[in-house]
Amino acid sequence: MKIDLGPVTRLEGHLNVETTISNNVVEDARCVGDMFRGFEIILRGRDPLDAQQITQRICGVCPYAHAIASSYAQESAYHLKVPANGRILHNLIQGANHLYDYLLHFYQLSALDFVDITAVLHYKGADHDLVKVKEWVKAEMASGKPYPAAPFLPRLSGRYVDDAEVNIGALKHYLEAMELQKKANRASAIFGGKFPHATAIFPGGCTQNAEIDLIVSYQSLIVEVRDFIHRKYIPDLVAVAGAFPEYWEIGRSKGDFMSFGLLPLEPGPDSRRLFAPGILADGKVAPVDFSAITEEVKYARYSSPSGLHIRDGELVPEPGKASAYSWVKAPRYNGRMVEVGAAARVLVDYHQGNNEQVKKLVDHFAGVANITPDMLNSVLGRHLSRAICAAVIADFVLAECERIEPGKPCGAEIMIPAGGEGYGATEASRGALLHYIRLQDHKIEKYECVVPTTWNCSPRDDKGNPGALESALIGTRVENPEEQIESVRIVHSFDPCLACAVH
Ligand code: NFE
């Protein structure tokens, strides 16, 4: 039986997942990215300083990650001397954006896969917001509309949390989380400019200076976000995990893990990072080598040659290509499939013992859930990894504020050379993000982006091997093949963003 799950994300749509079900098991899964964009073509021949602006428009959720990756690539191509404050402001902007994104993902994009929203209909308390939601859901359901109470309903059939206190608490925090996301975005905007288009992020730092009053405003917003992470987000996640322990085993991808490392501790591309970079394969971590990355297109709608290194990457669309089923390319590392994202970020760091706080949190929650760290490769593992990242990043950006030297430069002197090239690698919330720039006559000759969801939602590679999400779906047992709440929970745990993936 063939079933399409699309549209399957609550964010940046266009992802379809085609499944083939046999005896209630997902026998095959194909990730289908159904649109073409072409940012790499748009950038050709432009002023290089357009790049960190234009690439932000790849996505309305992770624009800052693109601006930062682009800035790093340009810093390297221009051999910029980045001042300490420049590095810190980049970190403050990007760190706050991660915090926004983790709250968005857990509450708005995933929680309703587990939490029973209809519990609000039996709510007897006096909380003003919850009473309002209860009345609104009741009125919607009585309205005769074809889809009442969206985005809460309709929903897939399956088991949901049955503890009323957990359900009502999560709903309350669903509403509060939107306020906290605003605060995280406001914190980024203090130095970067209004979300989702940060005009102040530049190679080498920021056009906004770091004044004491701005630093204090940033800190006060992040303190509130950090408080929410510890008092509400993590407890809600632990409650959901307690109700669905089988999801520590469901949704395991079958490849390696890769992280480019997040939030440098010193200026420069080789600095140690808060989360360390690396490739985790067979329990061992190796350094990342960008020259090992290729993009395969046998099953993607491009006529350009397959398996090109990103320095030589090409983008020639072929909408009618017979063998293809997606506009997403298939990036591979030394020909191997990798998963990227929060679980990769945490596992790659944990296995190197880079960050003590990461190690402590992983060991603590593994103990609470009675799992081994490698079980972060699962639906719940991806959710827990985001929460761990959130706790670590919130502490880090607050500590970074103390290291700013007000009055000192926050940006570099930029001289664009006639030629040169540079890579810029970071971790967007959804995983490893790489930008590559090459200059000719002071203009962009070539620009390539290799993006987290391109890795995770890739179609088959030239050898026919599935991408990370496809591999995590294949073999999954589903109660109701027509609806497949189990598959949808797996897809959501990767938090796919197709706008980014096709870019
Ligand atoms: Ni459009 Fe993005 C993140 C990037 S995902 S959300 O995070 O880069 O491919």
Domain membership of residue 150 (yes or no) is no
Structure tokens at 146: 């074809």
Q: Cα 82 to the chain's mean position, in Å?
A: 26
Q: Say what the pLDDT of residue 7 is.
A: 87
DSSP classification of residue 230: I
Q: Which of 61, 66, 71, 448 to mutate to test the pocket of ligand 1 (most atoms within 8 A of CB)?
A: 61
DSSP classification of residue 290: G
Domain membership of residue 133 (yes or no) is no
Q: Say what the pLDDT of residue 13 is.
A: 66
Domain membership of residue 148 (yes or no) is no
One-letter identity of residue 345 = R
Question: What's the 121 CA to ligand 1 centre distance in angstroms?
Answer: 36
Q: Say what the pLDDT of residue 392 is.
A: 99
Specify the residue for token string 């609470």: 368
Specify the residue for token string 């929903």: 155
DSSP 480-491: -TTT-HHHHHHH
Q: Is 237 helix (H, G, I), strand (E, B) or coil?
A: helix
Domain membership of residue 172 (yes or no) is yes
- Give the range of the structural domain holding residue 380, as residue numbers without chain letter: 2-116+160-501
Nearest CA to ligand 1 atom 2: 62
CB atoms under 10 Å from CB of 326, counted, come to 26
Q: Is 3 helix (H, G, I), strand (E, B) or coil?
A: strand
Specify the residue for token string 């810190």: 88
Q: Cα 209 to the chain's mean position, in Å?
A: 28
DSSP classification of residue 104: I
Question: What's the 345 CA to ligand 1 centre distance in angstroms?
Answer: 14
Give yes or no for residue 495 CB within 6 A of ligand 1.
no
Give yes or no for residue 62 CB within 6 A of ligand 1.
yes
Alpha-carbon distance values, 14 to 24, 139, 361, 468 (Å):
26, 31, 35, 18
Q: 478-503 burial, b for 16+ CB within 10 Å, e for fewer?
A: beebebbbbbbbbbbbbbbbbbbbbb
Give yes or no for residue 12 CB within 6 A of ligand 1.
yes
DSSP classification of residue 107: I
The pairing of strands 205-206 and 201-202 is antiparallel
Give yes or no for residue 94 CB within 6 A of ligand 1.
no
Domain membership of residue 131 (yes or no) is no
- Separation between Cα atoms, residue 158 and residue 361, nearest integer Å: 31
Specify the residue for token string 């929970």: 489
Q: Is 86 helix (H, G, I), strand (E, B) or coil?
A: helix
Structure tokens at 111: 């929680």
One-letter identity of residue 28 = D
Please identify, by atom number, the ligand 1 atom nearest to the C-alpha of residue 69.
Answer: 8
Overall number of domains in the chain = 1
Specify the residue for token string 């046998």: 298
Domain membership of residue 132 (yes or no) is no
Q: Is 425 helix (H, G, I), strand (E, B) or coil?
A: strand
Domain membership of residue 153 (yes or no) is no
Q: What is the pLDDT along the chain (503 residues), one digit of tens a residue?
A: 999 999 888 776 679 999 999 999 999 999 999 999 999 999 999 999 999 999 999 999 999 999 999 999 999 999 999 999 999 999 999 999 999 999 999 999 999 999 999 999 999 999 999 999 999 999 999 999 999 999 899 999 999 999 999 999 999 999 999 999 999 999 999 999 999 999 999 999 999 999 999 999 999 999 999 999 999 999 999 999 999 999 999 999 999 999 999 999 999 889 999 999 999 999 999 999 999 999 999 999 999 999 999 999 999 999 999 999 999 999 999 999 999 999 999 999 999 999 999 999 999 999 999 999 999 999 999 999 999 999 999 999 999 999 999 999 999 999 999 999 999 999 999 999 999 999 999 999 999 999 999 999 999 999 999 999 999 999 999 999 999 999 999 999 999 999 999 99
Q: Which of 389, 453, 503 to mutate to test the pocket of ligand 1 (most atoms within 8 A of CB)?
A: 453
Give yes or no for residue 452 CB within 6 A of ligand 1.
yes
Question: What's the 452 CA to ligand 1 centre distance in angstroms?
Answer: 6
Angle between helices 379-403 and 485-494 (to 10 degrees): 20
Read off φ and ψ for residue 99, nearest 5 degrees. -65, -45
CATH number of the domain within which 14 lies: 1.10.645.10
Domain membership of residue 23 (yes or no) is yes
